[in-house]
Structure 1
Amino acid sequence: MKTLLPEEYRVRQFRDKDFIEDVDGAIFCVIGNIHPPDRVISYLKYVPGFRGEAVRVKWSRDGKSFSRVLPNYSALGVLKVQEYLKSICSNYVYFDPYMNIEFIAVPREKIAKHFLPELRLGEIISGAKDPLEEHALRLVKTICRESNVDVGSIGITGSILLKIHNLQYSDIDLVTYGRESSVKIREAVKKLLEEESYGFHRPKGDMLKQWAEEIAKIHPLRIDEAVKLYSTKWNRAIFQGRQFSIHPVNTEKEEYGRFKYIPKGIVRIRCQVVDDKDSIFLPCKYIVKNVYFLEGKWVSEIREVVSYEGLYCDIASAGETITVQGKLEEAEDLYYKQKYFRVTVGTFEARGLDYIKPDSWS
C-alpha cells in the first residue's frame, strides 16, 4: 500500500472534518471548506482536563485527559456549545455578514495545531501503534482494494486523528477526498454491506433499534423512519465488530463571500429531487423542482435544499420526492448578480425541528 501522499496534501487550506487545537488546548472540528479570511468555522468538541460541563471523559493523550463538551451531533448540540463558549471566550463566536448568522469561528492567530486526516492515516500505514489503529488500517485496506481508490484519497478523523482514542469505545471515522473517489468508495461500501462481506454489515436487531431510538431523541424522526434511515445508510455501519463512519469531502474550489443569504422564516415543502450529486458532501445539496408549500410563506423559484445536518446526506436520489422543513433563505450570487431561494436544514433558528424525509420512508 502506497504511504506517500501527494505534495498538494502536505500544505493545504482547512477542510471539512479537519481538527484544530487552540493555544489553550481546546479542540475544534472544522465545518465545511469555506471560511472567513481570518477565522476557521468549527465547533468545540474537546477541552483539556476534567470539566463539570463535560458530557463524558474517556479520551486521553500522553497522560493528558480530555472532556467532551459537545452533547450530541445536532444543530442544538452545537448551539449549546456555542453558548458555553460565548460565555467564556466571546471572540470565538462570530457574526458572518454573508451567512447572516452567528457561529463559532476560531481566530487563526489562536490556532496552535492543524490536524490533517490524510497525514494521520499515513502515520498509521507506516506503523499502527495499537489494536484500534490496526483495525482502522484493515478497514482502509479493504475499502481501497474493493473500490480501486488510492489511499491518498482517504484520511482518518475523530479521536484517532487526535491520538486521544479509547481502545474500547472509539469509532473509526474516515474521510474521503474528491467526488470521483467518494462515489467509487460509496458504491463499493454499499456492495460490501449488502453482501455482508469481510465483516461489513448494517446495524440490525437490538443494535438497529438502539441507533434508531438514540437519533429519534435528538431529531424529529419517528422510530420507524430512523430504522429505515439506518437500514439503508451506507456511511455509518459496522466493520468486524467496530462502528465506522465515512465522510466525503469536496475538493472542488469554493470561495468565501460569493453568496449572501437572507433568512425568510421557517417553511415546510414537498419537492422533487432533480440532482443529488452534491448530497454526499457536507453541507449536502439537493437541486429540486415542483415545489409545493405545506407551511410558511410562499415564494417562487426554490432551487435547492441544503443540509448542514449530516444525517440527511445522500438519503434521496434524483427523481425522488422529499418533504422538507427548514429555514427559507434568499440566496444572492454576488458574482453573477442572480437571486433565488433555498431551504436550509440544520440551522439554529429551526430549534431542532427541521428535517428531510424521502417519500420512501412512508
Structure 2
Amino acid sequence: MIFRARDRDAPVTREGIIFRVMGYDHPPGACFCDVEYAPETIYTSREKRALREGKGLRYYKFYFDGGLKFVEERYPQYTVYSRVFGKRLVGLKYEYIAELRKPEERLQKLLMTEKDDKLLKALRRLLDTITEISTLRTSDFGVFGSLMHGFYHEEYSDLDLVIYGTKELEELLEVLSSLYRDGRVLINEFDTVSPEHFKNWRFKHLTPKEY
C-alpha cells in the first residue's frame, strides 16, 4: 500500500496505536506524528479524561508528555530522525502503518450517516452555515480527533475540523470572522475572559487578540 500522509491524517499501527500526522514536512518514507490514543490492551491511564469507548473497544488518550514517554520507553521504533532538531521525534516509517485514516473521508461518512445525535447536528449546522455564505464545500474539510475514530461523546467532545488549501483557509478565516462579529451563530468563548487570563502570555508570534 502506498501512503501519502497529510496533516491531521491518522496512522494506526498493528498494535492499534493511533497517531496524528503533524504538518507536511517529513523525511522520505516516513511522517512526524503526535501519538493520540492506545488500546487498553497495551496502555491504561489514571487520568479521568483519558478513557474513550466506542465500537466495543476501549482506548486511552495521552495527555501532556505521556505519549512521548510511552513511545520512548515501549515503542522506540516509532520515532523518526529530524535533521532540523538533530534528534529523533515521534513518527512512523510507512512500513509500520497498518491503516491510514483520512479526515476528509471520515467527514463524508459522518455527513451521510443516519445517526443524528447532538454533536453530529452541530457539525452539520456549522458546515451548512459556512457553505451557504461562501464558495467553500464540505469536501474542502476533514474531521479529526475522537469524531474520526468513532468514540466521541456527544455532550463533551469537540468539533475538530481541518481545511485543505491556502485559498480555502483564507476564505474560511474571513467567514469565521464575519460570523463571530455577528454573534448569532458563533460566540467567541474568550470574549468574556478576564484580561488576567492573558497576564503571563508566553507566545512570541501570537497576540492574545489573534488567539
Q: CA deviation at 1:137?
A: 1.4
1:195 maps to a residue whose letter is D
Q: CA deviation at 1:39?
A: 1.8
1:14 paired to 2:5: yes
* Corresponding residue of 1:125: 111
* Corresponding residue of 2:90: 104
Q: 1:66 aligns with which of 47, 59, 70?
A: 59
Which blocks of at least 5 consecutive residues in structure 1 are unaligned? 1-10, 72-76, 213-221, 230-352
Higher RCO (C-alpha 8 Å, min separation 6): 2
Given that 1:44 and 1:70 are in contact with CA atoms closer than 8 Å, whether structure 2 keeps it comes out as: no
Given that 1:155 and 1:174 are in contact with CA atoms closer than 8 Å, whether structure 2 keeps it comes out as: yes
Q: 2:45 aligns with which of 43, 52, 56?
A: 52
Provide runs of 4+ in structure 1 moved above 3 Å.
Answer: 52-55, 357-361
- How many positions carry a matched residue from both structures? 206
Given that 2:140 and 2:168 are in contact with CA atoms closer than 8 Å, whether structure 1 keeps it comes out as: yes
Q: CA deviation at 1:42?
A: 0.2
Name the TM-score, length of structure 1 as normaliser: 0.51
1:17 maps to a residue whose letter is R
* Corresponding residue of 2:71: 85
* Corresponding residue of 2:101: 115
Bigger mean CA deviation after superposition, 119-128 or 188-197: 119-128
1:25 paired to 2:16: yes
CA deviation map 1:166-196 (0-9, x unaligned) = 1121000111110111111110111000111
SS in 2 for 1:133: helix
2:61 maps to a residue whose letter is R
* Corresponding residue of 1:193: 180
* Corresponding residue of 2:205: 356
SS in 2 for 1:95: strand
Given that 1:48 and 1:64 are in contact with CA atoms closer than 8 Å, whether structure 2 keeps it comes out as: yes
Matches within 5 A, 1:245-284: none
Residues 62 and 359 (structure 1 numbering): CA distance in 2 closer, same or farther, change over 3 Å? closer
Residues 97 and 53 (structure 1 numbering): CA distance in 2 closer, same or farther, change over 3 Å? farther
- The RMSD of aligned alpha carbons is 2.7
1:356 maps to a residue whose letter is H
Name the TM-score, length of structure 2 as normaliser: 0.85
SS in 2 for 1:187: helix
